[in-house]
Amino acid sequence: MPPRPVTDADIDSIVGAFFAPDRDMFRTLLDATRGLGGDLAELGVLYGASAALVGAARQEGEVFTVVDLFGKESSDDSNAAENESSYAGLTRAAFEANMMRVVGELPTIIEDYSSTIVEHARLGSHRFVHVDASHLYEHVVGDVRAARALLKPDGIVVFDDFRAEHTPGVAAAVWQAVLTEGLRPVAVSPHKFYGTWGEVGTYQEALRAWVEGEPLWTAEWQSVSGHQLLRIHAVPSWQVPRHPWKRFVPVALWPAAAKVRRLIRRRH
């Protein structure tokens, strides 16, 4: 049986930090890679907020593999300290319960260090890999290598926290991969970096088509070391129409539309 579709309300029901615009960017890129066919993977699942959305995209014959320490103490002191302060109490059972409740099936689960996923999942077969485990530079370098080994040539990799104040190690590892290892940036959002070792054009087109229909998000092109990437960001508050419906109604009809809205409100 295929997995269930996952709504924003489903994701909201799982503790985590997986918000707009990344939910829709995941949906757009998971859709855009459907035709490639291939496996899915997530490194670092916590309680399953993003894993639910990725897992729900699994097609017949595709394998979704996840890896997490699930509270097992890391032998690296900095990693152990980070996990103890941020993810204390995390259990595999809670993750599994969320996946069963929301997606209706479990992924293949590896309880180990993130980069060991290459010992369990098929290499060169993935269409989408989300990296959201340790924030330490050395670990993320390992995760970059693992993601590359897992991916098909045109597969998508997403790195969380590539620019947060408390995660300089992720930033260093991700941009290093761009500058020295051929990773091509597709887009950046406030929290995530989207890239591929393949062609970026189709993915950037898909994201542009998505963002055009969005009242609260917009895009601009930026150039980084010769790479054109899309920066997806919030529409500045002074540009958000106080009445979102005005985006869809010609100006000449605003007075009439406002009158209709007032009438409807009075009736309720």
Ligand X SMILES: C[S@@+](CC[C@H](N)C(=O)[O-])C[C@H]1O[C@@H](n2cnc3c(N)ncnc32)[C@H](O)[C@@H]1O
Binding-site member from 32, 90, 170, 230 for ligand X (CB under 6 A): 90
Nearer to ligand X (CB atom), residue 49 or residue 157: 49
Nearer to ligand X (CB atom), residue 24 or residue 132: 132
Nearer to ligand X (CB atom), residue 65 or residue 79: 79
- Residue 151 is given by DSSP the state E
- Binding residues for ligand X restricted to 131-160, rule: CB under 6 A: 132-134, 139
Biggest alpha carbon–alpha carbon distance for the chain: 67
| Contact between 157 and 196 (Cβ < 8 Å) | yes
| Contact between 63 and 40 (Cβ < 8 Å) | yes
As a whole number of Å, the end-to-end CA separation of the chain is 43
Binding-site member from 3, 6, 10, 18 for ligand X (CB under 6 A): 18
d(CA 176, CA 143): 13
Cβ neighbours of residue 136 closer than 8 Å, sequence gap 6 or more: 76, 78, 79, 82, 169
d(CA 47, CA 92): 8
Q: Which two tokens stand for residue 46?
A: 């916590």
- For residue 116, the minimal CB distance to ligand X (Å) is 8
- For residue 129, the minimal CB distance to ligand X (Å) is 12
Q: Which two tokens stand for residue 96?
A: 């599994």
Segment contacting ligand X by CB under 6 A, of 68-76, 144-152, 182-190, 205-213: 68-76
- Binding residues for ligand X restricted to 101-130, rule: CB under 6 A: 113-114
| Number of other residues whose CB lies within 10 A of the CB of residue 52 | 26
Nearer to ligand X (CB atom), residue 75 or residue 223: 75
| Chain position whose Cβ is nearest to ligand X | 16
Binding-site member from 30, 40, 69, 178 for ligand X (CB under 6 A): 69
- Binding residues for ligand X restricted to 24-53, rule: CB under 6 A: 44-46, 49-50
- For residue 55, the minimal CB distance to ligand X (Å) is 12
Q: Label residue 2 exposed, middle or buried (CB < 10 Å: 0-12, 13-18, 19+).
A: exposed
- For residue 255, the minimal CB distance to ligand X (Å) is 45
Nearer to ligand X (CB atom), residue 32 or residue 46: 46
Q: Does 99 bind ligand X (CB under 6 A)?
A: no
Nearer to ligand X (CB atom), residue 155 or residue 169: 169
Q: Does 162 bind ligand X (CB under 6 A)?
A: no
d(CA 99, CA 53): 10
Segment contacting ligand X by CB under 6 A, of 28-36, 83-91, 202-210, 246-254: 83-91
What is the three-class DSSP state of 113? coil
Helices of type H across the chain: 8-12, 22-32, 49-56, 77-87, 92-102, 137-150, 168-180, 201-212, 254-267
Q: Which residues in this chain contact ligand X in the complex, by CB under 6 A?
A: 16-18, 44-46, 49-50, 67-69, 74, 79, 83, 87, 90, 113-114, 132-134, 139
